[in-house]
Structure 1
Amino acid sequence: MVTAGIVAILIAAALIAVVLLRRGGSQSATPSGPSSSTGPVLAVKIDNVAEARPATGLGSADIVYVEPVEGGLTRVLAVFSGGRPPVIGPVRSARETDYDVLAQFGKPVFAYSGAAPPVVQALHAPPLSDRIVNASPAEAPAAFVRDDSRAAPHNLFVHTGNLPTSDGPAPEAVYARGAAPAGGTPATSFTAKFPAASYEFRWSDGKWLVWADGKPYTSTESGQLGASTVIVQKVAVHQTSYPEDAQSPTAPVAETIGSGTATVLRDGQSFAADWSRTQAGSGTTFTTTGGQPLPVADGPVWVLLTP
């Protein structure tokens, strides 16, 4: 039988946990170890302008999508599977580009900080509400905390142990893995440019180290970020029919269903490639210009959706 004293202790412990989550402070950006919470796919929208760096938790991402946003800048959609890092951020708002990117992963949990009203409405209505688990502060308030050592709005972090789980294919099912085909060109560096942002990848010790806007791109728990495969995917871009915010009349939407060209970096080599994706629920396939399958290498994958 539960006594009144035990009930009081449990209530007090719960209140302390809530207070600690809401206090923020440097703890939100200093993970101490892996979280015990797991789920097939967690996707987190991460701020990556200069004021938002360094990131936290990004070194554990299986796939990092770099998406164009308003003002010629970019934002990251990071995909995690299996064990989740305990803290990820800084978290920012969703964009229309996310709809089709997320559709590859079955029904992922999607952590984001909000969005323009038409995007919020779309994310909470079929068919999108059937394909994702919304996990913004509106749905999971106990999972989010502000870091008072950073300036808003670049200071919102998510504690992944307080997020729900879902189901869907792991990243390995979305991007085929395997040995590189013949025909690559030796490469030591590559630069991808957006109108107001640039990324450089340098081959070092078996991985592509990442620079953003001329500086090493780091995450607090892992140091400089790196990838085994980098895909610079050329995509068509159209503008939204609604304003993103008071300062931005429209926002770009990267079109990831269709076909186009790409540059694939892996194993210290560069490959000219073609990409194809026939529908929202399928992954993207890459082939060399000669038609050979072009899989990604084992390890983290970065995909830059460049206009």
Structure 2
Amino acid sequence: MRPWTQTRRTAVAVVAAAATLALAPGCTLSKTDGPNPPSSDGRILAVKIDNVGPARPQTGLDAADVVYAEQVEAGLSRLMAVYAGRLPPVIGPVRSARETDLELLRQFEDPALAFSGAQSKLLPLIATAPLRPLPPGKAPTGAYFRGGGKVAPHNLFVRPKALKADPREGGLESTGFRFGPRPKGGTPEREETVRFPAARFTFSWSAERQRWLVSMDGERARTTDGGTLGASTVVVQYVKVHESRFHDRSGNVTPFTETVGSGKARVLRDGRAYKAHWERPAGRSGTEFTTEEGRRPLPFAKGQVWVVYAKA
């Protein structure tokens, strides 16, 4: 066989294998998705953040515009913090990405994602996803560091400005989120708890601070400097959660959270709870939240938003 023929066949086989993987069931990519645009700085910076006991308290979480809570292996939770405005000096502890993140981030325009790594079979999907991946191996020297008085693997932190990400005003517009005055209706609410198989989140209304104070696994969530974490709006979004094709080193199957579709939600703001409906028709679409009755737009309170993905 001629050398050029063998080379050509090998190249075709590699392309075909990549296409099969990218379009396999459960994949988050569409045929219109291409490689990451290398010149894009990203309109938002998303950071995967550790959320088990040894990782707390986290750093820089209070500066996020949106915090997503998702289920991972063994029923535990992990956070994705999205920054569309100011960047804190340090964020962390940083942990690995999941397939759920790729679908979730498609509703943002030109997102950059900071993460510590990923399962080897997931890496090709990350490489072709419409985002700018910024793991330690692709980040500028000095952007990531070990520290914070924590033990590995809960001690990886990132200096976001060193990543040269460039969050810009309006970075949340593509999400479908709307902010405005408190709508009519709702019922008075003082506390809401969302349970995962091996984790739980509790949000307690503080009239004094006009925020929902966050507790995780029964303990009040605090920042590294001792402040308390709190949200202006909390969204409990009921979604389908099922097994994916991926698993961790211990053999625990990674859950996949479906954020495209529609379903029920519960929106907390200003000390009140609203029954809501969410809808996201496609990966590149934002997620619209409306009142359960009448399907009227349901605006969020200005400030930090927490979105907790609860199993429907």
Q: Report the TM-score when normalising by structure 1.
A: 0.83
Paired with 1:181 and 1:121, the residues of 2 have a C-alpha distance of 44
Residue 278 of structure 1 is matched in structure 2 by 281
**Does the Cα contact within 8 Å between 1:41 and 1:80 map onto a contact in 2?**
yes
Match of 2:238 among 234, 238, 242: 234
Residue 156 of structure 1 is matched in structure 2 by 156
Q: Which amino acid aligns with 1:113?
A: S
Match of 1:89 among 82, 87, 92: 92
Q: Secondary structure at the match of 1:104?
A: coil
Structure 1: which 5+ runs fail to align? 1-37
**Does the Cα contact within 8 Å between 2:43 and 2:109 map onto a contact in 1?**
no
CA-CA distance at 1:270 after TM superposition:
0.4
Match of 2:188 among 164, 186, 204: 186
Distance 1:124 1:71, change over 3 A: same
Distance 1:176 1:148, change over 3 A: closer
Tell me the alpha carbon deviations over residues 100-128 of structure 1, each in whole angstroms, 9 at most, x when there is no partner. Answer: 11111111110000010122121112xx0
**Does the Cα contact within 8 Å between 1:109 and 1:133 map onto a contact in 2?**
yes
Paired with 1:218 and 1:148, the residues of 2 have a C-alpha distance of 15
After superposition, residues 61-140 of structure 1 pair within 5 angstroms as: 61-125=64-128, 128=129, 131-140=130-139
**Does the Cα contact within 8 Å between 2:42 and 2:110 map onto a contact in 1?**
no
CA-CA distance at 1:148 after TM superposition:
6.4
Paired with 2:135 and 2:126, the residues of 1 have a C-alpha distance of 11
After superposition, residues 237-256 of structure 1 pair within 5 angstroms as: 237-243=241-247, 245-256=248-259
Match of 2:261 among 254, 258, 262: 258
CA-CA distance at 1:292 after TM superposition:
1.8
Q: Which amino acid aligns with 2:171?
A: A
Residue 31 of structure 2 is matched in structure 1 by none
Q: Secondary structure at the match of 2:101?
A: helix
Q: Secondary structure at the match of 2:102?
A: helix
Paired with 2:167 and 2:200, the residues of 1 have a C-alpha distance of 34
Q: Secondary structure at the match of 1:88?
A: coil
After superposition, residues 277-296 of structure 1 pair within 5 angstroms as: 277-290=280-293, 291-296=295-300
Match of 1:298 among 294, 298, 302: 302
Shifted more, 263-272 versus 287-296: the winner is 287-296
CA-CA distance at 1:173 after TM superposition:
4.4
Paired with 2:306 and 2:86, the residues of 1 have a C-alpha distance of 19
Q: Secondary structure at the match of 1:218?
A: coil
Paired with 1:149 and 1:261, the residues of 2 have a C-alpha distance of 41
**Does the Cα contact within 8 Å between 1:64 and 1:76 map onto a contact in 2?**
yes
**Does the Cα contact within 8 Å between 1:109 and 1:164 map onto a contact in 2?**
no
**Does the Cα contact within 8 Å between 2:95 and 2:156 map onto a contact in 1?**
yes
Moved over 2 A (4+): 164-169
Match of 2:201 among 189, 199, 202: 199
Structure 2: which 5+ runs fail to align? 1-40
Q: Which amino acid aligns with 2:147?
A: D
Residue 48 of structure 2 is matched in structure 1 by 45
Paired with 2:236 and 2:226, the residues of 1 have a C-alpha distance of 23
Distance 1:279 1:39, change over 3 A: closer
Q: Secondary structure at the match of 1:97?
A: helix
Paired with 1:148 and 1:41, the residues of 2 have a C-alpha distance of 25
Q: Which amino acid aligns with 1:179?
A: P
Residue 34 of structure 1 is matched in structure 2 by none
Q: Report the TM-score when normalising by structure 2.
A: 0.81
CA-CA distance at 1:222 after TM superposition:
6.3
Count the aligned residue pairs: 265
Q: Give the fraction of aligned pairs with identical amino acids, expressed as a percent.
A: 47
